[in-house]
Structure 1
Amino acid sequence: MVIWEFKLTLLSPASAVRKRLAAALMFRPETGKKMKNQPMHPIYKLLIIGALLMSSVLLPAQNLEDLKITATFEATPTAEVLSTIQATHPVAFYFRSEDLPSAPVSITFQETPLPEVMNRLLAPGGLEYLIYRDYGIVIFPANYLTANYTADFYQALDQQLSGGADPGNQDPDRTIGSLETMRPSGRARISGQILDNQTEEPIIGATLFFTDINAGTATDVDGNFQIEVPSGRHDLSIEYVGYQKIIESVAVLGDGELRVRLEKEAVNLEEVLVKAEALDVNVESTQIGVEQLDVKSINKLPSFLGEVDVVKSLLLQPGVSTIGEGAIGFNVRGGEVDQNLIMQDDGMLFSSSHALGFFSSFNTELISFVTLYKGNLPAQFGGRLASVLNVEMRDGSFRDYRLKGGVGLVSTKVSFEGPVVKEKSSFITGFRSSYSDWVLNFVKLPEIRRSSAKFYDLNFRYTHRLDEKNTLSLAAYSSHDRFTYNELFGFDYNTLMGQAIYKKIFSDDLFSKLSFTASRYESTQLDLDGADASELDNNITYYKIREQLTYTPSRELQWDAGISSILYQVEPGAISPLGNLSQVIPGELEKEQGLESAAFLNGNWTLSPAFSISGGLRFAAYQFLGPKTVFEYADPENPSGENVVTTTRYNNGKVIAAYTSLEPRLSMRYRLGPSASVKAGYSRTSQFINLIANTNTPTPNSLWQLSTDYIRPLRSHNFSVGYFKNFDNNNWETSLETYGRLIDDLFDYKDFADLTMNDQLETELLGGIGRAYGLEMSVRKREGIVNGSLSYTLSRTERQVEGINEGNWFPSNFDKPHDLSMVFNFQPNQRYTLTFNFIYGTGRPTTAPIGSYVEVNDLVVPIYSDRNQLRVPDYHRLDLAFTMGQSHKVNKKVKTSWTISLYNIYGRANAFSVFFTQRPFNTPRANKLSVLGNVFPALTFNFETI
């Protein structure tokens, strides 16, 4: 190959150069013909430019310029002309046949100098040539001279072709890229992923550092990284806390990929402390209002009945709360439970809890990472007002089979994973089931003892690497819950979901993720006794398709763009009698369907080391579709059952109502130094599907209601500002955030609203506006024998609805002015961890009788307060967990641990609700319902094959 060092000296002898040149051009030097089925080598351009730059220096020594050509050609192709001259004269031509003029030439040379011959042959075709030494001529299109190749490029190329700066150097441990992918700048872009060698899970925050050039980066939430370095040989260090450090010599030839698997550290933490980077992610990240949960730390927290829980871990974060035991879902910054978008991969879950909130719907053994966005959402997410809980499931191991599980007093879990075809395809499956009824016998209340709570869930995931750049994953999720209370009523609900996810890498800069999800959520309310014994069923099915492109042209800029569409199909209610004594009349409401589509664009841009922006735009469009019978009212703004004018029948697919929403999103970060930053954000959000609840606390049977021509979508403006400061080399993290939310459209229920089997639901609703605002403070210590966190939220959530409380502002059902959580971990060594957590929260609002009057027939009639003007007692609880981990024997094939936990140590009888009973001729009496009033011990045995 004809390659010149930037110092203007030849890199190799003529014979070796001749061979390299032939290989680069894909020619046979003897014939000048292109090899079959071989593309032009990219180094062709580089060869021409490099040699041309040197030609002015070397031309005086070229003998070919003195060569005279004598020949005559009639209607001969140019390639044949060159071949004939090459056969009869001491010269070799290098060219691509497709570059030569297609028209045959008729020409005569008589003792014509070779340069003149070349000009006459090539000028009509827009070709140039250069002379190499005393035997070669390279022919190429003139436009190949336009690229800007730097001195760094030639120096890097010199080193690569000559085997390095020092020919005596040992071979590198790893080679990245090739000559074909080297950039004109002499630099190379390296992208890749860092994985756990055993689990194949991405490692978040692992660092890659090129020690010789003082450049590095850290992996993102998917374990991916990207960095640009000069071509050449470098010393690379890769490390993450708890894993063995890797130090390698790498030869970087050009753009390429690097996938590394780290082995877990086998020494005591007391002896070696490995520091991870990206510890300052809370200060460095641009997005405000984000909580990233470490799945490993979740497993250390105290748990109810020995089951670790994602949702319970969320409740320890500032701004996240719940009304107490027995409540499904969670509330974020004063939002209602249905205002949270809960995602498992790209699929949506309508229930985040099992057993009325005591267990999470997520199996922590199968989770890769958990991210909660509070209020300021990137444009990729939408469809909910308050937050997004994004739970990414991990792939199974592509190398080894592993069995993992835990056996507790009330539940069992087990997961199994491994390769189907090693390094090509893998599977992972997990199963959980409860058998907790016997524990309820320890509760003081006889009603609880006659109750039952059971659940199971099953996950399966198959991942196939089609090739290095294409991956297909197929996933399935199934769950079932059944709860009965005092043999009087109960709930039966289940979820079935399937997903197909196709990931494609187009280039180092461009990545695609296409997914399709189908899911069905079914719920049944059971009335088990008396003449009202019945089953009330409702369900929701959806089909979702989503495409997202991620483009990263540089380390400073990333774009995410995509589209999505969701078809909802709702069966709002069907009731049937239960038992021979039931007087319930069977009935069924009309089915409903709606289409929600969106397009989004979001960018993350680092303008300087201090200032970065994450912003974008989301456009959402919603259509409420037939078939459906719609009631027409005399006063459409205030519909009631008494002013129905007529009904209109819409056929299948006919648009009944349509709404659009343009949603800007913006988050900014400004660093005040190496350990502090300020952030601010704004987002516009909308919601086209809402939960309709018969009580102040949603139940599994609460109805998911689509937006209609009378029930408008919810819309809100979300604002937040925060200050983030780290201390002690990022070991201590502190934050102070303030937020506000203005809700343009919301609805509430009329007093004594009838929501069951109501085909005119709009007549029971009232429209209004809302607001939420608060201050969140947190302190966290990451490492050390003693570590933990403290979070406190001061907030208010209020609404104003015409027709309620005389139009005055009043607290929402989830208004909790004070919310505090504390986690304390004591870890004297790697095996033992003692953890306490304490939670305190203001009691939720309620409406209650504040007096009564007696009618003439001696009937006592209660007088109620305004809506939500009173509160149930405050909530507080202390839990403890002790984990005894595996031993230090590295040759053990099975890793085991024990977890002992005490939930509600001091037996606090926290109020789930306060209800009132009327005794004859007396004022109403308040009664407190506590779902748990005892301390609950648990013992769990965990095992894992390694």
Structure 2
Amino acid sequence: MMKAFLFFIIGALFALPCFSQNKFTVSGTVKSASKGETVIGATISAGGRYVTQTNEYGFYSLTVPTGTYELTISNVSFAPYSQQIIVNKDITLHVELIDDAQTLDEVVISSSRGRSLSSPQMGLERVTPNEIAKVPVLMGEKDVVKVLQLLPGIKSAGDGSSGMYVRGGAADQNLVLLDEANVYNASHLLGFFSTFNSDAIKDVSVYKSGMPAQYGGRLSSVLDIKMNDGNNQDFNVSGGVGLISAKLNVEGPIQTGKSSFLLTGRRTYADMFLKLSNDSSINSNSLYFYDLNAKLNYQLGEKDRIYFSGYLGKDHLGVGDLFGLDWGNKTATMRWNHVFNSKLFSNTSLIYSNYDYNISINSGTNNFDIRSNIRDYNFKQEFQWYPNNRNSIRMGLNSIYHNIKPGEVRSKNEESSINDIRMQNRYSWENGIYASNTWSVSDKFNLTYGLRLSTFSILGEGDFYNVNSEGKVIDTTHYGKGDFVKTYVNLEPRLAASYQWNSANSVKASYVRNAQYLHLISNSTSTSPTDKWIASTNIIKPELSDQFSIGYYRNLADNRYELSVESYYKTLQNQIDYRDGADVYNSNNAIETELLYGKGRAYGIEWLLKKSTGRLTGWISYTLSKTERKIDGINNNEWYNARQDRTHDIAIVAMYQLNKKWTLSANWVFYTGDAVTFPAGKYIIDDRTVYYYTARNSYRMPNYHRLDLGATMQLKQKKRWSSELSFSLYNAYGRENAYTIEFMDSKNDPNKTVANQIALFKFIPSVSYNFKFK
């Protein structure tokens, strides 16, 4: 396999067309004139014929024949830039773009740079902080994940969850990155809000298919979030106060034009209102979260820049002294950008991430803690090479050391009636090496081809098992610290193509294979802070997926509207589910004894119609899909619905600039109820009702729909000060959507069973005040 990979790289490089001596390269960095932030995805064109885009650090490289060109640079957030250049040698040209936020056409920034007709990239969605700010959400708290869930193929895990299902994948099959660091639980307040503070966000990209070769480790999607660099031109202070939270953002130059800092923080304060109660059973409780984002960046010279960024977030839920639940993420990233020459760009990253939770229970003689933790140490090296105007090559490697504590129960004192339960720590080493090339074959046909070679080594110290078909351990082998238990190796090819037959129409197709070595163990209906991450073992094999996609894209009405239709078919191997009656939380047994394995499939079609300019902007999305699993030992070994299976998913989002003072917004969602397992009958044992179940996920929750309304009123707006009031109404017509359905004996007739539906939200109004000072 390694030889095949090397042959691929060598073949790819030798296949590149040679470029003659009379071609030269224009390269540089594109930045915002007002902030000094690098601009991602700006389009650079020389004479309308030679085109490229800035990378994620604002760098571009464009090779053209000798001549005189009109160089244009455009990005939807900025005013167009144009300059005539004479190319008779290599040129370094750094450009600063002027913000163009004053026109009504820029009320909502479109995702058009993610939907380039010529690019082979499929399944890419982008949202901006401007879009996030305008879409009405729960409690008025800006939330990037909630906005993403309004796009086709990305499904909400339901009220009270920040999890998302992408093209039939489970919640753990999404790779979530914050400045390249893995985020293992992207939720606050038990999932009502996401981890990401929109005030700290620069760019959000989600890949549903055709993931570039630099990404690996998950089956279904990549959510890549990049933090703001910080303003290196002027100091800015902004913030806001809402019904449940407050936030503050400070940024500014360390050395004007060369270095900057960013610091953002927010905290909810619902627990402070609890303190006002005279009832001791209420005022002793707590429920809050806080998070901090920080970033520093330094321009070391013409060719070098270094970044330091970090995130710290924590949630706390407490019921007096009886119960406490804490969970949180920590990440840290150090990156070094180096420009070797006009054609070769390098990024080197050292990355740390940590996720943990702790449950504390004090009830009589039941005094114990439940803990779990996953910690990563990550190194990444990548090169981007621009050999000529038709090829753009990425190649690099990624190495991650995982340290996982799946879970343990520890009694607090000798009088505790709870015995210690300690699952073994697991250690593993995940590696990937990759190369890809985006090749402009002709003016109409573009191709991206690449390959990722991933390996996953299971390391000691610990016991590893063999399990029979009944889930019983039949053999145990002990490995010492640092011993290699088993190594999995997978080739992950990537291929995508686009054909643009005129300025308004194109078709695309892609194929991608992904391997996933870490798995989330959960038997709840949505992601929970106490779900367990486990690594592949000698028994739990890596999950694999193969996805085929095809799509049609069209720009309408002089590019004011975008229409896209994408269809996909995905096969999945080594999928994990539970044995009937499994208990993965309260057992000293090997986790492998509770699991079953099989295959899956997901297929569907997605429509998106988007309007990106004018007073009225927004989109309509519709997804028709099916997601199934087939696992021996479940449902008589027949195909059954995965819990994330939904037939229909619709979202309508609209934003209207009424005038310079008022912006109105609304969104309406509808989706088919989740697949669930309800009891098929019951029997009585010792005067206690016991329900029995038959086919898994063969029932449906009621259909879900909801309307949200929002309005933003611009208050004072001066040269150095601006403020606004934001209003929102979540679930405007008071639909009582089912969160859970409980089955119980009828009080009047115990032989009868009644279903009790619980809804989380009815009408939720909110108001927040936001300000900015510079």
Calculate the TM-score normalised by the size of structure 1: 0.74
1:681, distance to aligned residue in structure 2 (A): 0.8
- Find the partner of 1:798 among 619, 625, 628: 628
Residue aligning to 2:459: 625
Residue aligning to 1:436: 270
Residue aligning to 2:7: none
1:238, distance to aligned residue in structure 2 (A): 4.8
- The farther-off stretch of 535-544 and 320-329 is 320-329
SS in 2 for 1:365: helix
- Find the partner of 2:580 among 743, 751, 776: 751
- State the one-letter code of the partner of 1:845: A
Residues 750 and 766 in structure 1, CA contact (< 8 A), matched pair in contact too: yes
- Find the partner of 1:670 among 499, 522, 530: 499
Q: Does 2:750 correspond to 1:916?
A: no
- Find the partner of 1:927 among 727, 745, 756: 756
Residue aligning to 1:940: 768
- State the one-letter code of the partner of 1:498: A
1:574, distance to aligned residue in structure 2 (A): 2.0
Q: Does 2:33 correspond to 1:197?
A: yes
Give the Cα separation in 2 of the matches to 1:917 and 1:436: 33
Residues 218 and 278 in structure 1, CA contact (< 8 A), matched pair in contact too: no
Alpha-carbon spacing, 1:532–1:915, altered in 2? closer, same or farther (3 Å): farther
Give the Cα separation in 2 of the matches to 1:191 and 1:830: 39
1:244-283 matches, within 5 Å, as 244-246=79-81, 248=83, 250=85, 254-265=89-100, 268-269=103-104, 281-283=115-117
Q: Which runs of 5+ in 2 are unaligned?
A: 1-18, 276-280
Give the Cα separation in 1 of the matches to 2:38 and 2:96: 9
- Find the partner of 2:619 among 779, 789, 801: 789
1:306-455 matches, within 5 Å, as 306-437=140-271, 453-455=287-289
Residue aligning to 1:119: none
SS in 2 for 1:912: strand
Residue aligning to 1:720: 549
Residue aligning to 1:550: 384
Alpha-carbon spacing, 1:848–1:470, altered in 2? closer, same or farther (3 Å): same
Alpha-carbon spacing, 1:448–1:850, altered in 2? closer, same or farther (3 Å): farther
- Find the partner of 1:885 among 714, 730, 739: 714
Give the Cα separation in 1 of the matches to 2:716 and 2:101: 11
1:511-549 Cα offsets, whole Å, 9 max, x none, are: 111101122211123446565553210101110101111
Q: Does 2:540 correspond to 1:706?
A: no
Residue aligning to 1:895: 722
Residue aligning to 1:104: none
Alpha-carbon spacing, 1:236–1:558, altered in 2? closer, same or farther (3 Å): closer
Q: Does 2:397 correspond to 1:563?
A: yes
SS in 1 for 2:692: strand
Q: Which 4+ residue blocks in structure 1 deviate beyond 6 angstroms?
A: 272-280, 438-441, 447-451, 485-488, 578-581
Alpha-carbon spacing, 1:711–1:248, altered in 2? closer, same or farther (3 Å): closer
Residues 383 and 688 in structure 1, CA contact (< 8 A), matched pair in contact too: yes
Give the Cα separation in 2 of the matches to 1:326 and 1:257: 50
- State the one-letter code of the partner of 2:29: Q
1:85-107 Cα offsets, whole Å, 9 max, x none, are: xxxxxxxxxxxxxxxxxxxxxxx
SS in 2 for 1:708: coil
1:640, distance to aligned residue in structure 2 (A): 2.8
- State the one-letter code of the partner of 1:622: F
Give the Cα separation in 1 of the matches to 2:110 and 2:520: 43
Residues 612 and 668 in structure 1, CA contact (< 8 A), matched pair in contact too: yes
1:457, distance to aligned residue in structure 2 (A): 0.8
- Find the partner of 1:661 among 480, 486, 490: 490
Alpha-carbon spacing, 1:554–1:879, altered in 2? closer, same or farther (3 Å): same
1:732, distance to aligned residue in structure 2 (A): 0.7
Give the Cα separation in 2 of the matches to 1:281 and 1:632: 48
- The farther-off stretch of 412-421 and 520-529 is 520-529
1:241, distance to aligned residue in structure 2 (A): 4.9
- State the one-letter code of the partner of 1:815: D
Relative to total residues, which structure has the larger helix share, 1 or 2?
A: 1
1:43-82 matches, within 5 Å, as none
1:458-469 matches, within 5 Å, as 458-469=292-303
1:915-945 Cα offsets, whole Å, 9 max, x none, are: 2234684344322232x22211111111222
- State the one-letter code of the partner of 2:652: M
Give the Cα separation in 2 of the matches to 1:773 and 1:448: 48
- State the one-letter code of the partner of 2:711: F
Q: Which runs of 5+ in 1 are unaligned?
A: 1-149, 151-182, 442-446
Residue aligning to 2:508: 679
- State the one-letter code of the partner of 2:25: R
Give the Cα separation in 2 of the matches to 1:273 and 1:403: 22
- Find the partner of 1:477 among 296, 299, 311: 311
1:897, distance to aligned residue in structure 2 (A): 1.9
- Find the partner of 1:295 among 108, 113, 129: 129
Residues 231 and 260 in structure 2, CA contact (< 8 A), matched pair in contact too: yes
SS in 1 for 2:138: coil
- State the one-letter code of the partner of 2:724: S
Alpha-carbon spacing, 1:580–1:651, altered in 2? closer, same or farther (3 Å): closer
Residues 207 and 216 in structure 1, CA contact (< 8 A), matched pair in contact too: no
Alpha-carbon spacing, 1:842–1:800, altered in 2? closer, same or farther (3 Å): same
Residue aligning to 1:779: 609
SS in 2 for 1:313: helix
Residue aligning to 1:735: 564
Alpha-carbon spacing, 1:625–1:218, altered in 2? closer, same or farther (3 Å): closer
1:383, distance to aligned residue in structure 2 (A): 0.5
Alpha-carbon spacing, 1:716–1:245, altered in 2? closer, same or farther (3 Å): closer
- State the one-letter code of the partner of 2:293: N
Q: Does 2:643 correspond to 1:807?
A: no
Give the Cα separation in 2 of the matches to 1:868 and 1:528: 36
Q: Does 2:738 correspond to 1:904?
A: no
SS in 1 for 2:592: helix
Residues 375 and 385 in structure 1, CA contact (< 8 A), matched pair in contact too: no
Give the Cα separation in 2 of the matches to 1:882 and 1:417: 27
Give the Cα separation in 1 of the matches to 2:722 and 2:584: 52
Give the Cα separation in 2 of the matches to 1:819 and 1:352: 23
1:849-888 matches, within 5 Å, as 849-853=679-683, 860-885=689-714
1:822, distance to aligned residue in structure 2 (A): 0.8
1:338, distance to aligned residue in structure 2 (A): 0.5
1:78-89 matches, within 5 Å, as none
Higher relative contact order (CA 8 A, sep 6+): 2
Residues 740 and 771 in structure 1, CA contact (< 8 A), matched pair in contact too: yes
1:716, distance to aligned residue in structure 2 (A): 1.3
Alpha-carbon spacing, 1:485–1:881, altered in 2? closer, same or farther (3 Å): farther
SS in 2 for 1:511: strand
SS in 1 for 2:117: helix
1:605, distance to aligned residue in structure 2 (A): 0.6
Residues 191 and 258 in structure 1, CA contact (< 8 A), matched pair in contact too: yes
Give the Cα separation in 1 of the matches to 2:43 and 2:632: 56
Calculate the TM-score normalised by the size of structure 2: 0.90
Residue aligning to 1:89: none
1:229-252 Cα offsets, whole Å, 9 max, x none, are: 566776655555564555555565
Give the Cα separation in 1 of the matches to 2:389 and 2:91: 16
Give the Cα separation in 1 of the matches to 2:446 and 2:339: 26
